[in-house]
Amino acid sequence: MDNNKFNKFKLPEKMLQDLYELTGGPKCYKGFVIAYCDENGTPIIYTNCESQITESGLLKSIEDYLQSNPETQEELEEDS
């Protein structure tokens, strides 16, 4: 099968901008972090935040989630 006939997937910029706008109104702490794998299994991470504080808060929340999820905790311990 010819894999070259498919274009590499990329989230449309308009979709990312719309997602950002949906995260809050004017003068709010807007932002998001989204992760997915492309067709080759390569992790892709997009982030768009109004401020460094918002981005830090989102990243800390993700870190806390990963540490509190039993399945993820087992994977992290296996990688150590």
pLDDT tens by residue, 6-49: 677 788 999 999 999 999 988 888 999 999 888 888 899 999 99
Q: How confident is the model at residue 1 (pLDDT cuts 50, 70, 90)?
A: very low
Instruction: Please report how many Cα atoms fall inside a 13 Å half-sphere around the Cα of residue 18, on the Cβ side.
Output: 5
**Residue 47 and residue 55: Cα distance in Å, rounded?**
8
Predicted TM-score (pTM) of the model is 0.70
**Residue 23 and residue 29: Cα distance in Å, rounded?**
8
Closest CA to 49 of 15, 73, 19, 8: 19
**Residue 15 and residue 48: Cα distance in Å, rounded?**
12
